Each structure stands twice: as C-alpha cells, then as structure tokens.
Amino acid sequence: MVSDLVRLTATEAVQLLRVGDISPLDLIDAAAERIALVEPAVNALPTLCLDRARDHARRLLAGHGREAEGEPGWLAGLPVSIKDLADVAGVRTTYGSPIFRDHVPATSHALVERIERLGGIVVAKSNTPEFGAGGSTFNEVFGRTANPWNTSLTCGGSTGGGAVSVATGEVWLAHGSDHGGSLRRPGTYCSVVGLRPSPGRVTRGGSSNMFSPLSVQGPMARTVADVALFLDTMAGYCPRDPLTWDAPAIAYSAAVAAPVAPRRVAFTADYGGKIRVDRETREICARAARRFEELGCVVEEASPDIGGVDEAFMALRSQQFVVDREHQLGTHRAQLKPDIVWNTEKGLAQTASRLAWAERERAAFVRRMAVFFETYDLLVTPGAATPAFDIALRHPPSIDGEALTNYMAASTINAAITVASNPALAVPCGFDRHGRPVGLQLVGRTRGEAALLQAGALFERIAGIAGMLPIDPRLGTVPSG
C-alpha cells in the first residue's frame, strides 16, 4: 500500500483525495514510512512535523479549513515539503544557519499560509545551504544532502533537499526558491522538474528585498503536470508582496491538460561560447533539443546577445546580499560561511556607478530578450553548466579543465535568465556516460508560464524519464573524468 501511494503523481494523489478513495492520513503515513527508509542515505528532510501534519489532516477530514476547496490548486490534504528558508509556524526553521539553529517561528511565511489554506499539508522542512547561498546543499546545522542517483554526488542547491524529497518519493510536491538557479539546477541534478516563475507570480512574503526581481518562490515535482498543479496553489495576489498580481483566469493545470506545441524553438548550448558549459552536457542537450522537431516545431540554433549579464548579475546579487546580510556580517561574522561573507563584502565594496551600470545592463538585456521572443516561442539551454559533482565540494572545481574562481561561476547559464525575469523550467532529458542526470532549461516569454509548462509537458512525454521516479537512493563513486 505504501509503495503504491508514494509512486502516485501529485495529480493522481489529489484526484484520489478529492473523491475519498484515500485520506490525507494515509498519505502522511506513507510519507513517514518512506522518509524513514530513505533519509539515512540522502538527508533531504532533516526536520519533520508529522504530529502537526496529522492534526491538520484531521481538521480537513472533520470539514474544517476547506474554504478554498474547488479553487485551482486545491491539494485536498496532500503532504508537501517546505524549504528551510520559509517559516512554518511552530516548526524549527533554521535557514540553514547556526545563527538560527534553535529558531521556532510563531507565524508562517505568507506562501506557506497560502499552501495550507489550499489543502497542502506540511510534513517536513527540506535542507538548504546557509541562507540559500550555494550550488551544493550543505550547512553546519544539518550537514550535506546527497543525490539519490549517486549518493557520492551533490544534489545541487539551493533547493537541494526539496529536489531529493520528490525524487525519492518522500513527498509528492516540494516548495523552493530560486535566485541564480536554485530550483533549476537541483531539478537538473536530481532528474525532477523545477520551475522558476516570473517575478510577481508567487508571493515572497515579507522579503527585505521587496522590489528586487532576482529571488522568487516556486514549485518542484516529479512531473510537469504536478508542477502546474502546485503553481496553481502558489500563484496569485498577496497584499504583503506589491509585485504580485492575480492568478490567471485559466488554471495552469488546465493548460497542461491540453498542451499546444511551440512553433519556433531556439536552442543554444552556451550563448555562442560566452558561457562555459561541460562538453558532454552540451552534446546531450543539443540532441534533446532537436526532439522538439518530433512535435512539429521548427528548431534552430540561436540565442540573444547576453552582453555583460554575468557581471551585471553578480553586482545586483551582491547588492541583495548587502540588504539581507549586512547586519549579520557585523554581529555574527564568524558564524557565516565564507561564500556569504565574500558576496556581502563584494556588495559593500562596489560603487554606486557600478550598480547603475548593472541596472542599465539588465534593462538592455531584458529589451533584447523581448525582441528575441518576437521570433521564437521557446528558448532551450542546458539546465546546468556541469553534471552533479563531488558532494564534498562547495562548487565544481572546473568546467572543461578551466578552473572556477567562486561558488557562483558555474551558475551563469541559469543566472542569465534570472536577470531577464523570464520564467524557466528545468526538465530531465537524459544521462551522461557516468549515469548522472542531465536536463534542459526551457525559457518562456515573460509571464508566459502556461505556454512554457505546455512545452515542458510535451517534451516530458517524448523524453520518457518521469516514469523512472521515485528512485531508491543508489551508492556510487565520484567520476574521475
């Protein structure tokens, strides 16, 4: 029974919940048993709140808290994981930092409130790098999270625990966030689906960087349809986030149920050599992108001019670190990991003129992307610049033999899209010669999540990888080449 339940997609499980064939308590028990089985190998969900979850389930079964039943995104008592950057009332929330090792918030993040109002049941907090900073999921509070395809490798970051929790069947949906690829890169490394929505699509609650579009909240799951369902749960206006707007008239789940293929698809492996990407990854992704031709799409090799987007991103990101971490740098410097200190000090040292240049560069790139999407309906790139690397490392040491100088240097393939504010979807597309997952990053028009998810759903059918999940964690070694 448990094995059957954890193998259900989120969409299938919600349908069974809605008609009463299973109960939320059945799914919580199944999740708890699966978590106990796989956690020793992966360390994805270090904080459980099963008693709180069962209390929530009993309230739903008694008819309480069902005011949103019938709304798009109603989850009907489905267990989910919440990234340990978002507060859950009464549940230990550390942000991956020793500074907040024993923090238990009294109230929940606005998005968590929304998920629970729409019938999602929080069963666990997923592991993250400290304050979400990093392309590998580890911290001093809970340690490292392993990739279930090969536990000697990283799951990516920063929504690494979320990616692993859905890949292994611990939960059916995972909440996450994305700044420089934190939903897309773990999705790629763990062969699951991660969506970075357009800024304003999903509330960020009480963010200190209230008017920055760089960091967003979003969904992760094993299938595109499940991501669409969770986006329906998340999307909509929030009075605590002035960038948000109303949910669409047509639900994302409905759009994915009747997908329309894009007409013209552009593929670029590395933006004309301007972004470093592993050679085998480029080759696998190029072959995968051509599969859109099986849907009747015109596929061409093309890309927008990225200009100085890599440097602009680092300038803008560093400024965001100043907003978020300047005070902690002064009071808890010794407890912050070196990457956070470096990124914050980089922001403190840059001039107003440098920031002004970065804003102008961002605006110019956004305009070029808008022109690009007048010709193309979809932009396809590799989902990550390298395959998953040694779990003991903070970042990959090199790309094709060229050494990387900082922990963000392998993230430009994702960060460029962050700067442009386009929605982006990570979808599995294959495996390299060592069996490591490889994925595509599908990029849509600004606020074009519906068409993007439709394209992702159609590609997912061709790729045929979603049926391989959930996966039992596999032991392995770090590839030597």
Bridge partner list, 241: 238
Q: Is 88:49 a contact under the CB 8 Å cutoff? A: yes
What domains, with CATH codes, occur in the chain?
Answer: 2-468 (3.90.1300.10)
- d(Cα 159, Cα 44) in Å, to the nearest integer? 10
Q: Tell me what pLDDT residue 402 has.
A: 92
Place of tokens 């094995």: 3
- d(Cα 333, Cα 73) in Å, to the nearest integer? 42
Q: Is 92:141 a contact under the CB 8 Å cutoff? A: no
In Å, how far are 110, 216, 257, 323 from 207, measured between CA atoms? 10, 10, 34, 10
Residue 205: which residues within 8 A CB-CB, separation 6 or more? 86, 109, 110, 111, 238, 240, 241
- d(Cα 428, Cα 151) in Å, to the nearest integer? 19
The sign of the CA dihedral 267, 253, 196, 371 is positive
Q: Tell me what pLDDT residue 405 has.
A: 87
Q: What is the pLDDT of residues 338-353, one digit of tens each?
A: 999 999 999 999 999 9
Amino acid symbol at 427? V
pTM (two decimals)? 0.98
Which of 414, 315, 321 minimizes the C-alpha distance to 362?
Answer: 315
Angle of CA points 419, 425, 428, to nearest 5°: 135
Q: Tell me what pLDDT residue 27 has.
A: 98
Which stretches of the chain score pLDDT less than 70?
A: 1-2, 481
Bridge partner list, 427: 440
Report the run of H or E that residue 285 belongs to, with start and end.
helix 279-290
Q: Tell me what pLDDT residue 1 has.
A: 63
- d(Cα 324, Cα 65) in Å, to the nearest integer? 34
